[in-house]
Amino acid sequence: MASCLPGLVRADLALGSGTLTTVSDGNLTLPGSFLFDAMPQGELSSILADYNLATDQITPDCNLALYRDSERTVLFDVGSGPDFMPTAGTIVDSLEALGLAPEDITDVVFTHAHPDHIWGLLDDFDEPLFYNANYMMGRAEWDYWWNPNTVSEIGEARAAFAVGAKRRMEAIKDIVTFFEDGQEVLPGIAALSTPGHTPGHMAFEVRSGSRGALVCGDAIGNHHVAFRKPNWLSGSDQDPDTAVATRNMLFDRLTGEDLAVIGFHLPQGGIGRVDKMGDGFVFVPEDS
């Protein structure tokens, strides 16, 4: 169901005794070249026209997944905070619209450590904002950003990403719990390795009762070319070829197992299903 508070609480999905909600962290403003430069420009323009999008600039939504049951309030990623983009960093307001404060979050589970997913970790005093939470991150993702060589090897355009990630990770280094592919990180929440966007990116299968959903983070990064042309390389992915294989694996699972999809940058709240469309797919929002 879509929320009546656009820009704050966005959509929700009942899962047995629990509920998955997306809460907005605002949106990003990016040059289209960040995604599109390596794509076939003629065909790209035609696809983007179908979605009323331009090639020069994109403004993707940022949807944080929030899972609640009788025991836990689990936040997947923490958003951008105040230091990344002026259009993002609204997670505290979005939680407040749900009647939640940072101290109500029992667990924070990271998909990966790009700025719009981890820079919201710290408060004004450089302490963890969600101070009652248990923090969890995939071991491979942590090791990649913790490696002192990453900042010099990641490329000039992303060097600030590495510096910013390391700074936030230092604040939780003594309390973070690591997990591996296939591990149940919390009851009913299992990790799924989805590398490519970053080396250790993780998605999560959430199940309660008979229904399941995949919290995909940025492994499926948009509702247009990632769906329509999953084999196209994207400039947003650190390892584009691996990201293609990951997208295809996820689409196979989402369609073959009838799982709901929760995407960080998908529109209309980011919760929906995946349908086949020609040689690609289409995102169908939950309230459609």
Q: What per-residue confidence (pLDDT) applies to 10? A: 62
What pLDDT, in 10s, does the model give residues 128-145? Answer: 999 999 999 999 999 999
Q: What per-residue confidence (pLDDT) applies to 123? A: 95
Helix (H), strand (E), coil (C) string for 84-143 = CCCCECCHHHHHHHCCCCHHHCCEEECCCCCHHHHHHHECCCCCECCCCCEEEEEHHHHH
SS3 state of residue 33: helix
Q: What per-residue confidence (pLDDT) applies to 12? A: 87
Q: What per-residue confidence (pLDDT) applies to 8? A: 52
Q: Is the pLDDT of residue 90 over 80?
A: yes
Residue type, 252: D
Indicate the angle between helix axes 159-172 and 139-146, nearest 10 degrees: 120
How does DSSP classify residue 147? S
Q: Tell me what percent of the residues of the chain surpass a pLDDT of 90.
A: 92
CA distances from 200 to 77, 84, 182, 259 (A): 14, 22, 13, 23
Look over the chain and give the mean of its residue pLDDT values, rounded to a whole number. 94
Q: Is the pLDDT of residue 3 over 80?
A: no
Give the confidence band of 253 by pLDDT, cuts at 50, 70, 90: very high
Of 67, 59, 57, residue with least CA distance to 28: 59
The span from the CA of 5 to the CA of 214, in Å, is: 24
Q: Residue 91 is encoded by which pair of tokens?
A: 């997670």
Q: Model's pTM, two decimal places?
A: 0.95
Q: What per-residue confidence (pLDDT) applies to 11? A: 78
Q: What per-residue confidence (pLDDT) applies to 170? A: 98
Domain 9-285 has CATH 3.90.1010.20: no
Of 233, 206, 227, 211, residue with least CA distance to 283: 227
Q: Residue 6 is encoded by which pair of tokens?
A: 């656009």
Of 8, 90, 4, 21, residue with least CA distance to 270: 21
Where in the chain are the domains?
Answer: 9-285
217 strand-pairing partners: 263
Give the confidence band of 288 by pLDDT, cuts at 50, 70, 90: low
Q: What per-residue confidence (pLDDT) applies to 5? A: 43
Average of per-residue pLDDT across 245-253? 98
The span from the CA of 226 to the CA of 220, in Å, is: 6
Average of per-residue pLDDT across 1-8? 44
Q: Is the pLDDT of residue 22 over 50?
A: yes
What pLDDT, in 10s, does the model give residues 207-218? Answer: 987 889 999 999
What pLDDT, in 10s, does the model give residues 38-83? Answer: 899 999 999 999 999 999 999 999 999 999 999 999 999 999 999 9
The span from the CA of 118 to the CA of 78, in Å, is: 5
Q: Tell me what percent of the residues of the chain surpass a pLDDT of 70.
A: 96
